[in-house]
Chains A and B, each alone.
Chain A
Amino acid sequence: MQEEKNFIKELIDPRTQNTAFQKLLREYQKPLYQIIRNIVIDHDDAHDVLQNTFIKVFQNITKFKGDSKLFSWLYRIATNEAITFINNKAKRSKLTSTELQSKLVDNLQSDVYFEGDEIQLKLQKALVILPEKQQLVFKMKYFEELKYEEISEILGTSVGALKASYFHAVKKIEEYLNSN
């Protein structure tokens, strides 16, 4: 914890900021990309959102009070940026968020950066039918293997509610996979 406090000080101090930010990028670029890509599906969109996420982090690091862990703060920004991105994209296309996600999943078959087999594609299709919160919990828990406590800090939801969401998500997905 003290180490993290020192690291945050380095991120704020103009003399050490650049080096510290490089370290932050190295450490978090991959996990944050994954969490974003899982939400926005397309690689180019994920790139834009990841870039915006880091810029936001850089601009707001002085506001980080240390109430939560740096890790969860970063994940929270990335998740919010990705959700906002999808919602705005849907609005621009005059679609609902679910309709847009269906379209994005349909495009996966021709996406050069998707090499999933039938079952992987089916899983993506199953995810679209879930409510937003259940999707998020499932992606964080199943794909990213985050702990409930970590997801709780990121999403600001109780562990109990997360467990219930995950349970429902798994049931619905299994049902979809087994019936289609």
Chain B
Amino acid sequence: MDMKEINLETNKKITTGFQIPEGYFDDFSEKILKELPQKETKTISFYARNKMLIYTAAAVLVVTLSLPLAYQLEGNHEQPSAAEIENYLTQQSPISEDEIVNLLEQEDINKLKITNSISKADLEEELYLNTELEKYITN
């Protein structure tokens, strides 16, 4: 063959000439598969994968659990009794009696009725002594 006439498109194909060892591919996939788990042992543990989540959950838990304790420590002083509040309001507060009456709800009035129920005799005596009241009632 004349060397000057080499044409890659028309001439017989020139192969690479590379040889592969006999049986090379027979066990290649097995070797690779054995190799894979070792290379893949970088499996991320549950802890590592969820580290941030675990830390966040722990932080939330600590805060939640310490809230009642903090509340208890903070609010450890004794609550004033109802009588003390009443006394304070009458003596110290600039709020007038009328204003307090206006703030009373129906429920509070009912309670007052029970505790301060007026006997019939007292009522009659009051009506007898205070004639003007009769006018209010009849009106």
Contact = CB atoms under 8 A, between A and B. Distances in A.
Nearest to A116: B17
Contact of A119 (B9, B14, B36): B14
B32 A37 contact: no
Interface stretch (B18-26, B52-60, B84-92, B94-102): B18-26
Contact of B16 (A22, A29, A54, A120): A120
Question: A-side binding surface: helix, strand, loop or mixed?
Answer: helix
B16 A143 contact: yes
A158 interface: no
B7 A174 contact: yes
A129 to B, nearest CB: 15
Given A18-B33, A25-B28, A113 B19 contact: yes
B103 interface: no
A22 B27 CA distance: 11
Contacts of A38: 16, 18
Given A178-B3, A178-B6, A120 B32 contact: no
B121 to A, nearest CB: 92
Lowest 8 CB-CB distances: which A-B pairs, in order?
Answer: A116-B17, A120-B17, A25-B29, A113-B19, A177-B6, A178-B4, A54-B32, A55-B39
Interface of B: 3-9, 13-21, 24-25, 28-29, 31-33, 35-36, 39-40
